[in-house]
Amino acid sequence: MDNRIRQFANNIIRHSCDIQPGENVFIDALGFSASPLVQALIKEIYAVGANPYYEINESSIIREMILGCDENQVHYHFSHMADKIKKMDAYIAIGALNNPYDLRDIPQVKMEVFFNAQRLVVNERQLKKYVVTRYPNLSLAQKMQMNTVDFEDFFFDVCTLDYKQLSDAMDPLVHLMKKTDKVKIIAKNTNIEFSIKDMNVIKCDGKVNLPDGEVFTAPLKDSVNGIVSFSGPTSYQGHSFTNIVLKFENGRIVDASANNTEALNRILDIDDGARYLGEFAIGTNPFIERICDDILFDEKISGSIHLTPGSAYAIANNGNLSKIHWDMVLMMDPKYGGGEIYFDNVLIQKNGCFVLEELLPLNKEAFKL
């Protein structure tokens, strides 16, 4: 077994989840190629005196499940899984899809039934110690347009960087966001503003996601006005979207277009909350530099922000509820057209680099592998 996989598993168990003797840990792997990491995690769980449990699934199997399911059956399926997770102390989710587009042609009504029921598991895992990560398989390397060796090196570098250094560097940004009222973002075909006054601010430093690196909050629900053009692509419910443009009036998305405008608006019409934002975040991982259409990586890119149509997190709650939570990424560096972020009319970031003295430790030149 690759020593990097052992170290990765060690970090997940001892740092991200801080597993203690006697605890029950559930490993939920999506993709059979993740088996080496599942094995390494089981060994580490036993090594700390805890109890591992696991399930490995594959998107082609899930596809058949969704195509034939009805609401009662799929609700029963996820209720059973949620009951198992209730008995756990920690939950580890690993994404290692063989084909991320296996669900692309499934009817929207079937997708909604399945993902609505799946929220039972998502809601339950958020009550536990949990971490969401990936495994560096061939499919993910292809999405990144990298050869397998280079992608594995990149993956382990961004997942095992010095998160203590990153965490310390994010503290001034957290402090600044907690004091901020008005946020204004100007970029290519983008001019949007909103308030984050008195909202909770959360830093993500390797405890819940790997890779990690973002500071997030939520806009006041009715405060968002303007237009934003997202960098793409972005995938959601088996569909890949590019050129997404959203127009906001008093918090609500009043116009939405993309390469597939019809599918985009179908998702945004799932419920009323889907047309309001539930999250605003700034990416801070210095070693993720471009979009790869995997949100676990993309939302962490240094020099990016993301806005999220759909439900807010309970820990940074603006009151918006929805069946969806869709992170959409806007790159701010010159390769994507540049951009500026203002907090209360003060420039804090230009072209993807922080300009305030207290935020300079977040820029890439402050880090080394």
Which pLDDT tens digit goes with each residue over 143-176?
A: 888 899 999 999 998 888 889 999 999 999 999 9
Give, as one character, the DSSP assignment of residue 301: B
Q: Which CATH number fits the domain that encloses residue 25? A: 3.40.1830.10
Per-residue pLDDT of 240-251, as tens digits, reads 899 999 999 999
Amino acid 319: pLDDT: 96
Calpha distance 287→62 (Å, rounded): 33
Q: What is the mean pLDDT of residues 219-244?
A: 92
Last residue of a domain, one of 159, 176, 194: 159
Last residue of a domain, one of 100, 126, 159: 159
192 near 219, Cβ under 8 Å? Answer: no
Amino acid 340: pLDDT: 98
Domain count, the chain: 2
Neighbouring-strand partners of residue 34: none
Last residue of a domain, one of 116, 136, 159: 159
Domain range for 223 is: 163-366
Same domain? 209 vs 69: no
Same domain? 197 vs 329: yes
Cis preceding linkage at 52, omega within 30 = no
Residue 100 pLDDT exceeds 80: no
Same domain? 44 vs 153: yes
Same domain? 136 vs 169: no
Residue 1 pLDDT exceeds 80: no
Q: What is the pTM of this model?
A: 0.86
Calpha distance 241→259 (Å, rounded): 6
- Helices 59-68 and 108-125 pack at an angle, to 10 degrees, of 120
Same domain? 112 vs 211: no
Same domain? 147 vs 8: yes
Same domain? 134 vs 185: no
Place of tokens 């807010």: 312
Same domain? 188 vs 304: yes
φ, ψ for residue 122 (rounded to 5)? Answer: -60, -45
Same domain? 183 vs 288: yes
Helix (H/G/I), strand (E/B), else coil: 55:
strand
Same domain? 293 vs 200: yes
Angle at 36 between CA 134 and CA 302, to 5 degrees: 25
Same domain? 177 vs 325: yes
34 contact partners, CB below 8 Å, separation of at least 6: 56, 94, 95, 96, 135, 137
